[in-house]
């Protein structure tokens, strides 16, 4: 099994372009099932989860032409007759997104329970409540979901939570449903907006893009499109945190600064600054990180929230940055009850963290971090990247195992960071 061997304590410098947004690419790949025409996707990250989704589509009979490492052309010329491969579908979290397109295209699908990161309970109820509202019947078994619909019909839907994939599922089903669909309490993250824009290019009628109220007028069919996936919002945030804790000056090319206004506020509470230059973000080197107290010297809090709040996928990086900032801060992850458990690894490296409960951690910094030469596992995508960040700012050597988790979300991260001066290599 591959591992990363890291020598920490070295500054990085240079320019890096964020990979395409994983959380946009996966539902966009599923959208290929909605049409018999050619869908070309560009700036697709070459990562584990994307390759699994492409394999799932090929198994369903979709033609997948790989046009280099970061582009592909897909065509579902005929309605696939098979159900998604159980073993493949269980390997990624987003395999349920195949349900909406297959219901719309052929009226039935059986899916296994998905896999993905183990960061706590990740409910699918929102998906199936929305599909039921559109006319589908859903049978839930201990190991699978059996869905069918003679015809999907538009509905007035208010999602029970502001779920990203639940919103994407509803969009993928509603664009070909008969009549009008309203989706209230919809997620509006950049990756949801990318899906809306691509579907619109394919001929879907979607209003309210970027808001929490989507209006969809169903159409009889969709055409193809040529769409470029936006930059990975989470990778940009991870790189900002990495630059800050290593004292590095980095230019993040094409990072869409307007998408990081809340990240600027959250990281700013830890003393992190950057400047916007056009569509780039430039993080200056040698920053002195210090917690900015709330009024009257109160201890500040960094907490996760649905968009446009601070993204929960960046909480792991914020925890590492907090270990290097002078002062005390509360990190509050409201959504997933296992995401902060990797804090034990940081404590083992020398961080001063009190894990209050599964959702809250108090961090007192700065703390000198020391490498973990005996090795530590990457528990999930974001915690893995956070541990890599900690290792790069630590004194000494660290080894990270189970890096397939990191590879699922960050494309060739070792090669790209090495090009900036990081001392990191992949070994077996």
58 vs 80: CA distance, rounded Å: 10
Q: Could you give the residue ranges of the DSSP H alpha helices within 190-256?
A: 190-201, 233-246
User: Sign of the C-alpha dihedral, residues 233, 7, 412, 276?
Assistant: positive
Label residue 73 left, alpha or beta by phi (over 0 means left) and psi (-120 to 50 means alpha).
beta
In the chain, where the domains are located:
3-19+232-427, 22-228
186 vs 420: CA distance, rounded Å: 39
Per-residue pLDDT band at 117 (split at 50, 70, 90): very low
pLDDT reported for residue 120? 40
Q: In what order do the strands lie in the sheet with 275-277?
A: 13-16, 249-252, 280-283, 275-277
Residue identified by tokens 């947004």 is 21
Comparing 118-132, 192-206, 348-362, 387-401, which segment has the lowest mean pLDDT? 118-132
Q: Is residue 253 pLDDT above 80, yes or no?
A: yes
pLDDT reported for residue 90? 87
Per-residue pLDDT tens digits for 291-307: 999 999 999 999 999 99
Contact 424, 4 (CB under 8 A): yes
Per-residue pLDDT tens digits for 21-42: 999 999 999 999 999 999 999 9
pLDDT reported for residue 122? 57
Q: 144 or 6: whose pLDDT is higher? A: 6
Q: Is residue 118 pLDDT above 60, yes or no?
A: no
pLDDT reported for residue 68? 87
Comparing 120-129, 310-319, 324-333, 405-414, which segment has the lowest mean pLDDT? 120-129
Task: Give 22-228's CATH code, choosing from 3.30.499.10, 3.60.15.10, 3.30.160.100, 3.65.10.10.
Answer: 3.65.10.10
Q: Does this chain's domain 3-19+232-427 share its CATH topology with 22-228?
A: yes
Q: What are phi and psi of 241, to 5 degrees?
A: -65, -40
Active-site residue numbers? 117
SS3 call for 295: helix
Chain centroid to CA 390: 20
Per-residue pLDDT tens digits for 122-147: 578 999 999 999 999 999 998 889 99
**Range 3-19+232-427 has CATH code 3.65.10.10:** yes
Average pLDDT, the chain: 95
């Amino acid at each position: 099994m591959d591992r990363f061997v890291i020598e920490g304590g070295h500054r990085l410098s240079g320019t890096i372009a964020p990979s395409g947004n994983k959380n946009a690419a996966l539902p966009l790949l599923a959208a290929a099932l909605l049409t018999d025409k050619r869908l070309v996707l560009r700036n697709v990250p070459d990562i584990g989860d994307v390759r699994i989704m492409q394999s799932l589509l090929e198994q369903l009979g979709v033609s997948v032409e790989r046009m280099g490492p970061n582009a592909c052309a897909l065509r579902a010329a005929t309605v696939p007759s098979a159900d998604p491969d159980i073993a493949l579908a269980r390997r990624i979290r987003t395999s349920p997104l195949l349900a909406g397109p297959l219901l719309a295209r052929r009226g039935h699908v059986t899916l296994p329970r998905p896999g993905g990161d183990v960061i706590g309970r990740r409910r699918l109820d929102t998906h199936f409540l929305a599909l039921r509202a559109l006319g589908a019947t859903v049978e839930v078994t201990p190991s699978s979901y059996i869905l069918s619909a003679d015809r999907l019909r538009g509905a007035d839907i208010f999602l029970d939570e502001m779920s990203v994939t639940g919103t994407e599922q509803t969009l993928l089903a509603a664009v070909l449903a008969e009549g009008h669909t309203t989706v209230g309490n919809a997620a509006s993250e950049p990756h949801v907006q990318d899906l809306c824009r691509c579907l619109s290019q394919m001929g879907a009628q979607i209003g309210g893009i970027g808001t929490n109220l989507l209006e969809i007028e169903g159409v009889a069919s969709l055409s193809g499109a040529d769409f470029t996936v936006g930059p990975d919002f989470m990778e940009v945030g991870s790189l900002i945190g990495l630059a800050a804790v290593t004292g590095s000056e980095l230019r993040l090319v094409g990072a869409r600064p307007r998408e990081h206004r809340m990240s600027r506020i959250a990281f700013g509470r830890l003393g992190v600054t950057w400047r916007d230059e056009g569509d780039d973000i430039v993080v200056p080197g040698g920053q002195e990180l210090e917690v900015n107290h709330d009024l009257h010297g109160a201890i500040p809090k960094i907490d996760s929230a649905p968009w446009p709040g601070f993204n929960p996928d960046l909480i792991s990086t914020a925890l590492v940055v907090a270990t290097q900032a002078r002062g005390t801060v509360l990190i509050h992850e409201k959504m997933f009850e296992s995401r902060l458990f990797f804090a034990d690894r940081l404590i083992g490296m020398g961080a001063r963290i009190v894990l209050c409960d599964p959702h809250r951690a108090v961090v007192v910094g700065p703390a000198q971090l020391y490498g973990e030469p005996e090795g530590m596992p990457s528990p999930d995508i974001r915690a893995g990247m956070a541990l890599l960040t900690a290792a790069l700012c630590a004194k000494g050597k660290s080894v990270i195992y189970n890096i397939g988790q990191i590879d699922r979300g960050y494309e060739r991260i070792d090669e790209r960071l090495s090009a900036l001066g990081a001392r990191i290599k992949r070994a077996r």
